[in-house]
Amino acid sequence: MEIYNFTGTIDGEKVSLSDFKDKVVIVVNTASKCGFTPQYKDLQKLYDKYKAQGLEILGFPCNQFAEQEPGNNNEIKEFCEINYGVTFPIFDKIDVKGSNAHPLFKYLTSKAPFEGFDKQHAIGKILYAMLSEKFPADLVGDSVKWNFTKFLVNRDGEIVKRFEPTVDPLDMEDEIKKIL
Residue 28 in 3-state DSSP?
strand
**Is 34 annotated as catalytic?**
yes
Catalytic position from the list 7, 10, 18, 34: 34
Range list of H helices, the chain? 39-50, 73-84, 103-111, 122-134, 173-179
Residue 173 in 3-state DSSP?
helix
Task: Report which secondary-structure segment, H or E, holds 21.
Answer: none
- Alpha carbons 153 and 27: distance in angstroms, whole number: 8
Catalytic residues: 34
